[in-house]
A and B are shown apart, each in its own frame.
Chain A
């Protein structure tokens, strides 16, 4: 089959060809970028936090009329309240273990700072940014974290201090990511680091395989896996407890919490949000991402549908218009397959032109999004997949009208138009 007659035929409907090619180009550009966005969101939502998320829930509460001061006496009173709560929760029949904590991954409430291998570096001059988790000897066990080096905290390591007290503890656990960042040789265990520009040394007694920071915004992308765990019960007029229910007893354990805590001490605030499963925390944190992916998915489907339908419509029109010419070709000896291939080739040509323009538009759109909306660079693979997709879409859409064209009987040539 020669291309030449096809091109001269297309010259007769320049406008129609340009419109279809333009539509294919725009579709390619938008679908590539939308699919790229979907891919990124899915990847983000699926990254593991490092926790064993099954059977895990969080209790957040606030005491009423508790000491607000930061003096030693107030702190000890607050700590007594907290220890009472811990004992209450640990005594529940469906609870396996409990740790006090300041936050959890994906909770979007965090305490961040910097870690330095030198003493008295400024807060902003540290070697690595890190988030802080504060928990007791049950922290690792309750959250289901994996220790890859060194040892866990034991009960004797745990201290308590006021919420805004900035003294640093003598021993800490860090994530492998943070340890390797500070000590690239991988020998962080047993080393001393300084937190938040303090002069007090903290010894790394163990490394945790993986633990995500609480925040999920774009601003933490530089330190998503950098976490420091301190053996500290923080004392304030509010507290949070991470609770692991016995396997399969999550709902039962969650139901037991509120009445038990009120029974232990009624002067506190517990509301609908106070007892929350980790599954809910995860859902809330990634709601926007899931929504964006869904929206992009819907738009892609509409786009592909409209473009495919447009190709069907316009090709059908051309087939109708060339009814007689097709008859003539058939009468002169062209086989059905020749007619079919003619329309398929014609579509491939138009879609090819559209795809070339579309690649440029797709990259342009990606650059525009990168410039204004903190988007990453789209890998070439997406564009190539997009090209393959629009070509396939064109062939799929053209098949029905082309089949109809190939069924035009040669006798049409003999009839008047």
Chain B
């Protein structure tokens, strides 16, 4: 029976090629616009570490008080740490794993004297950072608590920097000259560039294109050698001391912080700890407002930092609107097309076809239009995703890509949406009174 309906549908569609082409084009463009913007949205709103994101938390402490929110125009409490509190929380060590981190941009001098020095980016972190974010190691590993405490000169390199400096060899134990000081390579991270860069959204804004981080150094060592931060510094008052040391003594915030808490009980006790910490700070006379803190899990944190650009959301919304218009358009055209065949329906019904048969026949026809629109949509989506490169910022465009799931979704969306659009016209067709049609002829 299905083959028969297929045949009927194809005949019907061939009878009015203009109308058919119009419907297919509308569905194709509508679906392609939606799927192209969806591919971008999916790329930027994805969970960077889905198996663990609900166990990673970012604390925030209200060290600037309500005034900064009122006059400074911030709607949230400080979203990064000053040095004092970052060090205090690391020392208290109440989470399972935790790390304070700040962005650095040191220069590296290649051992080969004929090469010019290069500039690299990276983070100063604690040893627990690596197991916490589950960084994949190609060679070696991160460093231990002992190295943190001893301010050891160790470094973890990216695969790319390792290749540049040593070629593709296991360089663990070899020495790298960073800002004029020698560091021993502890490990090399395999290709790893989570998007968004969730462990330090404050300094990266979330998306940093294809540039994976080149180096990770121990936090204490970086502070010790005076390696300045290369990211955002926000102050509610000007530091009294000068230089990087002055920054460390100030209430300016420039350090990102993340902690892993594995159970609800751990989260509760960590909240208690933060609350107690802030109360204690108030008692010590550091500030005079009601103690306030936030502890957000990673998805909530990314949301509060507005990691997904508004433009991406607006584009998706507008493209979905376009799809709806295309479907309304298709529904109108199908309605016209189906009702034109009232006579034919009347004959079929008079000869004993039940309403269900009329449904099957016309929904098959809608489905074929949808499938054809879907195939066109696939081609256009491919073109669309290829074009986002010159429409969107590089760092975001690089993330949007075609894959099987996107293609399958495109096709499915086209067929399902068109069949939905065809429901009302089909219902009207099935209501055709056979007697009237036969009489008028």
Q: List A residues at the B interface (Cβ < 8 Å).
A: 15-16, 19-20, 22-23, 26-27, 29-30, 33-34, 37, 62, 64-65, 68-70, 113, 122-125, 162, 164-166, 196-198, 219, 222, 262, 266-271, 287-288, 291-292, 294-296, 298-299, 302-303, 306-307, 309-310, 313-314, 317-318, 320-321, 365, 369, 372-375, 417
B235 touches A291 (CB 8 A): no
B325 contacts A27, CB within 8 Å? Answer: yes
Q: Is the CB of B325 within 8 A of A26?
A: yes
> Beta-carbon contacts of B229-253 to A below 8 Å, as 1s and 0s?
0000001111100111111000000
Contact A64 B107 (CB under 8 A): yes
Measured in the bound complex, the distance between the Cα atoms of B340 and A14 in whole Å is 15
Q: Which of A22, A270, A299, A320 contacts B328 (CB 8 A)?
A: A22
Q: A22: which B residues are within 8 A, CB to CB?
A: 328
B329 touches A307 (CB 8 A): yes
Chain B residues with a Cβ closer than 8 Å to the other chain, count:
68
Minimum CB–CB distance for B215 against chain A, Å? 14
Is there contact, CB below 8 Å, between A291 and B390? yes
Top 5 A-B residue pairs of the complex, sorted by shortest distance between their CB atoms: A70-B243, A291-B391, A19-B332, A317-B336, A310-B329
Set B107, B237, B322, B337: member contacting A302, Cβ < 8 A: B322
The answer to whether B322 touches A124, judged by C-beta atoms less than 8 angstroms apart, is no
Decide if B318 touches A296 in the complex (CB within 8 Å): yes
- Which of B's residues lie within 8 Å of A, judged by CB? 18-19, 22, 25-26, 29-30, 33, 37, 67-68, 71-73, 107, 109, 116-119, 179-180, 225-228, 235-239, 242-247, 309-311, 313-315, 317-319, 321-322, 324-326, 328-329, 331-333, 335-337, 340, 390-394, 424, 428, 440
Q: Within the complex, what minimum Cβ distance (angstroms) separates A412 from chain B?
A: 17
| CB of A382, distance to nearest CB on chain B (Å) | 15
The interface residues of chain A lying within 8 Å CB-to-CB of B331 are: 19
Q: A15-B428, A162-B243 are in contact. Are A292 and B315 (CB under 8 A)?
A: yes
Q: With a CB–CB cut-off of 8 A, which chain B residues contact A164?
A: 228, 239, 242-244, 246-247
Partner of B329, one of A23, A37, A262, A365: A23
Question: Interface majority SS on A: helix, strand, loop or mixed?
Answer: helix
Report the Cα distance A164→B229, complex, angstroms.
12
| Residue in A16, A26, A219, A296 whose CB lies within 8 Å of B332 | A16
Contact A162:B242 (CB < 8 A) given known A16-B332, A197-B237: yes
6 contacts between A and B (CB under 8 A): A16-B335, A64-B117, A69-B226, A271-B119, A291-B390, A310-B329
CB <8 Å contact, A70 and B322: no
Report which of A37, A64, A219 forms a contact with B180, defined as CB distance below 8 A.
A64
A64 to B120, CA, bound (A): 12
Q: Are B243 and A314 in contact (CB under 8 A)?
A: no
Distance (whole angstroms) from the CB of A271 to the closest CB of chain B: 6
Contact B180 A124 (CB under 8 A): no
Apart from the given pairs A26-B321, A365-B321, A373-B310, 17 other A-B contacts in the complex at a CB distance below 8 Å: A15-B428, A30-B321, A162-B242, A162-B243, A164-B246, A166-B239, A166-B246, A197-B238, A222-B73, A292-B311, A299-B318, A309-B329, A310-B26, A318-B336, A321-B340, A369-B314, A373-B314
Q: How far is the CA of A198 from the CA of B238 in the complex (A)?
A: 8
Chain A residue at smallest Cβ distance from B65: A124
Q: Is the interface of B mostly helix, strand, loop or mixed?
A: helix
Chain A residue at minimal CB-CB distance from B109? A64
Is the pair B315, A62 in contact by a Cβ cutoff of 8 Å? no
Chain A, residue nearest B242 (CB): A165
**A65, B332: Cβ atoms under 8 Å?**
no
On chain A, the residues within 8 Å of B311 by CB distance are 288, 292
Contacts of B180 in A (CB 8 A): 64-65
Contact B119 A62 (CB under 8 A): yes
Within the complex, which residue of B118, B237, B424, B428 is in contact with A122, where a contact is CB–CB below 8 Å?
B237
Q: Is the Cβ of A306 less than 8 Å from the Cβ of B326?
A: yes
Which residue on A lies nearest to B325, using beta carbons?
Answer: A26
Q: Which residues of B contact A23 (CB under 8 A)?
A: 325, 328-329, 332
Interface residue from A64, A288, A306, A372 paired with B393 (Cβ < 8 Å): A288
- What residues of chain B lie closer than 8 Å to A291, measured between beta carbons? 390-393
Query: Is B33 touching A299 in the complex (CB atoms < 8 A)?
Result: yes
**Which residues of B have CB within 8 Å of A318?**
336
Contact of A124 among B72, B179, B245 (CB under 8 A): B72
The answer for the CA separation of A271 and B245 in the assembled complex, in Å, is 29
The answer on a CB contact under 8 Å between A123 and B235 is yes
Task: Give min CB distance, B117 to chain A, whole Å.
Answer: 4
Q: Which residues of A contact B26 (CB under 8 A)?
A: 306, 309-310
**Which residues of the other chain, B, contact A309 by a CB distance below 8 angstroms?**
22, 25-26, 329
Chain B contacts for A295, CB-based, 8 A:
37, 315, 391
Q: Which residues of A contact B245 (CB under 8 A)?
A: 70
Question: Whose C-beta in chain B lies nearest to the C-beta of A268?
Answer: B117
Known contacts A30-B322, A222-B73, A306-B26: A262-B116 contact under CB 8 Å:
yes
Residues of B within 8 A of A307 (CB): 325, 329
Of A198, A291, A307, A375, most B-chain CB atoms within 10 Å: A291
- A299 and B247: CB pair below 8 A? no
Which of the residues B22, B71, B227 comes within 8 Å of A125, measured between beta carbons? B71
Bound complex: CA A20 to CA B180 (Å): 72
CA distance A359 to B33 in the complex (A): 24
Q: Which residues of A contact B326 (CB under 8 A)?
A: 306
Closest residue to A287 on the B side, CB-wise?
B393
Contact call B336/A70, Cβ cutoff below 8 A: no
Task: Report the separation of the CA atoms of residues A122 and B317 in the bound assembly, to the nearest whole angstrom.
Answer: 43
- B119 and A124 contacting across the interface, CB-CB below 8 Å: no
Q: Is the CB of A62 within 8 A of B107?
A: yes
